[in-house]
């Protein structure tokens, strides 16, 4: 059975009804019954069924189409009548009577980009699944990475992509003596003065020169004993 309506051809009454729900004011069974009884497609779809479609809530316009009542909106959008009534009772009117995803003008949002794993790490332009994987592939011990990272090294320095500067070596304490910078090792070798003794003298208020040149009591006692 071929049916032509609105310049479109349908093979069944069901196809015609579903494609023209925007003007349907009755259910599919009623539409089929009317057509078989000889009514035109337009009248069978749009003519209200007696007084049953008239309600005290009046007509409603959804997406530019006027519907005589809430049940006709439910049929047009394939919704349950109770769902439309509940939305109406919540204060929704017009297009809001129909959920956005069921409206004819609904455009689905673009697909979301997959979230990047928080464990991913980029080192020297190469992305690794985790720092553990980077350690394995770049031949760096995990404790070496942890120690360097704790001292503030960059990822490239931790994984030997860039030269690593050991901060402990650059923080050596030096003291100026006659225009020369001396480390604790220099002081011990040149003056025979241990670090603890030298620092203790500075804490007592002695200058660097005084702390370096002050004679030790132990040495004086030893000298007197040998001279006796």
pLDDT score for 83: 92
Mean of the per-residue pLDDT values of the chain: 82
Instruction: Say whether pTM exceeds 0.85.
Output: no
pLDDT score for 44: 86
Instruction: Indicate whether 168 pLDDT > 80.
Output: no
The residue extents of the domains of the chain are 3-102, 121-169, 172-227
Question: Rounded to an integer, what distance in angstroms lies between the CA atom of residue 158 and that of residue 18?
Answer: 66
Question: Rounded to an integer, what distance in angstroms lies between the CA atom of residue 54 and that of residue 67?
Answer: 11
Give the confidence band of 166 by pLDDT, cuts at 50, 70, 90. Answer: low
Instruction: Indicate whether 228 pLDDT > 70.
Output: no
The residue-averaged pLDDT of 160-188 equals 76
| DSSP track, 8-52 | EEESSHHHHHHHTTTT--S-HHHHHHHHHTT--HHHHHHS--TTT
Nearest to 57 by CA among 72, 79, 77, 46: 72
pLDDT score for 167: 56
pLDDT score for 171: 47
């Amino acid at each position: 059975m071929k049916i032509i309506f609105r310049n479109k051809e349908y093979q069944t009454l069901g196809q015609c009804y579903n494609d023209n729900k925007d003007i349907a004011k009755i259910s599919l069974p009623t539409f089929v019954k009317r057509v078989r009884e000889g009514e035109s497609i337009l009248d069978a779809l749009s003519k209200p069924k007696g007084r049953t479609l008239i309600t005290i809530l009046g007509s409603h316009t959804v997406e530019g189409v006027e519907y005589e009542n809430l049940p006709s909106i439910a049929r047009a959008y394939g919704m349950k009548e109770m769902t439309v009534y509940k939305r109406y009772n919540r204060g929704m009117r017009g297009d809001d009577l129909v959920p956005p995803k069921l409206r004819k003008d609904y455009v689905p949002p673009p697909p979301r980009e997959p979230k990047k794993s928080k464990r991913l790490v980029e080192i020297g332009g190469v992305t690794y699944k985790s720092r553990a994987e980077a350690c394995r592939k770049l031949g760096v011990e995990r404790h070496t990475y942890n120690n360097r990272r704790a001292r503030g090294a960059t990822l490239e320095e931790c994984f030997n992509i860039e030269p690593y500067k050991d901060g402990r070596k650059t923080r050596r304490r030096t003291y100026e003596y006659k225009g020369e910078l001396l480390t604790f090792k220099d002081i011990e070798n040149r003056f025979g003065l241990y670090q603890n003794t030298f620092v203790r003298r500075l804490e007592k208020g002695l200058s660097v020169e005084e702390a370096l040149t002050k004679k030790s009591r132990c040495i004086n006692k030893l000298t007197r004993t040998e001279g006796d």
